Structure 1
């Protein structure tokens, strides 16, 4: 755990990352409904907690992780794991990945808590995911929304996403328009409220959003809360 915390501190300032605690990674993967995905994508993979949890649950699945940070650690992933050092928000990334790996059954993601310098291509990423022209999207770039949109572009129709997002996306008034677009365009299955302190060296509040890349068909969204002492 000391090594984990040291890497977190060294990389936070550079990339705005709060790496996924392995326990949170296992929780996220355990609540994915897709029983036996053939392919899994992990954008902004950090130290690989989500990829490692996925490799243990779905031993035959091909897992592709993408990370720009060269401090990332993936030595424990073998076999069907493929790692790409690249900018996860590159507009052309889906085409590059699809040419070699196809589209993905499951997308797992813990986006960095940062605001990347706005690029015109970000508007195209949001537009293709049906999340453009929302009141909650300033032109300074909200990484969590851009990562969500990029994951939707990489996931096949009917595929499933599990994405950690700041609580403002789920509860904030500023994000009402974003939530409406998600509910109108996709099947939001459940939301898991994470306790403060689950990420090292920050009290930032977060939720896990689970949705499917399909037309809405569920009337009720299940809400869960993870207790700080454990249990859901």
Structure 2
């Protein structure tokens, strides 16, 4: 979460929109996103132009050509307010709606996009504030040891999305970027994956996979995406995301394009609905934090999901959906509310039994309740499993996360305590024969024990707590000390009385 001066600048920008009649939080986020997108496109081309000027060569497939050079942020930001509005409204904004492959996800979702800023003074004010905000973002990224510009931009989106008054209703709680990164590193995606987030929002999981693969090297030390076949798959077939919110689809598509993914398959789908039930066994990896918002109407739920789990609860239906979407051998790392781990209803037990008996439940990471603050204080966990259809669970790996590097209050300030590096290390070096100490952070629990406990997956059911023996003095000694203290107090009182008498 962003803090300090940058947070103040975002708040000021938000107030500027509010004072000028654009008060719907989603509309504000969308308008800011368009401007951030235009700015980022120009920044990327400026960086390429500087490189060419220094090293020579030509710029291949530039975003901005001489014909639309006036659409660049670096050009129109210096115009007077009236001319700037004409340029952005009539040229730059229509231009960004045409970027991307014809018929692609981005073009499809941008088709109905509307530029709402109609006041020249407002636009000039907003452009100036966005410029200042991104300059500060760049400075903080340069000064940071562990936060890149993209990380901070993700934090920026998180902070803006925290202002959504509809967040609790729509379940639009953003997944913290460090939790997303942890889950991606745990899954260690390969360049051959076909990845899906069935509740993708701004595309955080998909973007994190893209960034992870860009840094990944093969056994010979070469970046894997330098391979033409891998690059083609990366750009055209690897990334899939579903969401039913048009604004999130637009923001997610822009986010993916800014991260160099040419044709992500970002689709408008209500993942649990009957009318969108045709996709099955299509993906090798699912990463998700779906919106858990209670119960759905029975007649709207995909029938194949209720056959697996007879329920109306979204947190359980998504579990059935993940299994339907995965190919056999496909893997998933998904965030679930704690109730999924120990709920006593038949539906809760049925989902856990299905994961343990019919597939391979690999691991459960119990996370502290503050991870999703300030959006929500719910306790959550990460479930990691492999779809097999024939079982395969011999034992389940558990980890008791108590800290994630940030304070667990609403402020979420950086702290020294952080289990995430240890989680990643222990997961990749886990050993079913050695990781048996129930007092440790990480340990295996045999399948037989889980079955005996009604498929309960809460870590407290299995973790053993070591109590340190504390020695106390005998009651006689304690009473003696109390008497001495009382005598001292009485002596002091008598002394005070004597002073008052004089």
4+ residue runs over 4 A deviation: none
- CA drift at 1:80: 4.6
Larger helix share, 1 or 2? 2
- CA drift at 1:149: 1.4
Q: How does 1:47-58 map to 2 (within 5 A)?
A: 47-58=202-213
TM-score, normalised with respect to structure 2: 0.41
Q: State the secondary structure of the residue aligned to 2:262.
A: coil
Q: Is the 8 A contact 1:104 1:154 kept in 2?
A: yes
1:4 matched to 2:158: yes
1:173 matched to 2:344: yes
Larger relative contact order (Cα-Cα within 8 Å, sequence gap ≥ 6):
1
Inter-partner Cα distance in structure 2 for 1:36 and 1:144: 30
- CA drift at 1:40: 0.5
Distance 1:58 1:103, change over 3 A: farther
Q: Is the 8 A contact 1:67 1:88 kept in 2?
A: yes
1:91 matched to 2:274: yes
Q: State the secondary structure of the residue aligned to 1:216.
A: coil
Inter-partner Cα distance in structure 2 for 1:93 and 1:37: 26
Q: How does 1:78-157 map to 2 (within 5 A)?
A: 78-95=261-278, 97=279, 103-120=282-299, 122=301, 124-128=303-307, 130-132=308-310, 137=311, 141-157=312-328
Bigger Cα Rg: 2
Unaligned ranges ≥5, structure 2: 1-154, 215-229, 404-416, 424-502
- CA drift at 1:103: 0.8
Distance 1:118 1:53, change over 3 A: same
Q: State the secondary structure of the residue aligned to 1:105.
A: strand
1:27 counterpart (182, 201, 204)? 182
Distance 1:226 1:39, change over 3 A: same
Q: State the secondary structure of the residue aligned to 1:198.
A: helix
Q: Is the 8 A contact 2:273 2:302 kept in 1?
A: no
Q: State the secondary structure of the residue aligned to 1:9.
A: coil
Equivalent residue, structure 1, for 2:41: none
Counting matched residue pairs gives 220
Aligned CA RMSD, in angstroms, stands at 2.3
Inter-partner Cα distance in structure 1 for 2:157 and 2:326: 33
Residues 113-169 of structure 1: per-residue CA shift (max 9 Å, x gap) = 2024323352623245x333xxxx3xxx21111122122211111111111100111
Q: Is the 8 A contact 2:275 2:302 kept in 1?
A: no
Equivalent residue, structure 2, for 1:230: 418
Q: State the secondary structure of the residue aligned to 2:368.
A: coil
Q: Is the 8 A contact 1:5 1:200 kept in 2?
A: no
Residues 86-109 of structure 1: per-residue CA shift (max 9 Å, x gap) = 2121234242x56xxx71111111
Equivalent residue, structure 1, for 2:242: 66
- CA drift at 1:43: 0.9
Residues 33-81 of structure 1: per-residue CA shift (max 9 Å, x gap) = 5544431010111222111112223454411111112332222312252
| More displaced stretch, 188-197 vs 175-184 | 175-184
- CA drift at 1:209: 0.6
Q: Is the 8 A contact 2:319 2:351 kept in 1?
A: no
Distance 1:13 1:51, change over 3 A: same
Distance 1:126 1:193, change over 3 A: same
- CA drift at 1:203: 1.1
1:158 matched to 2:332: no
Q: State the secondary structure of the residue aligned to 2:371.
A: coil
2:367 counterpart (182, 194, 219)? 194
Larger strand share, 1 or 2? 1
Distance 1:153 1:199, change over 3 A: same
Unaligned ranges ≥5, structure 1: none
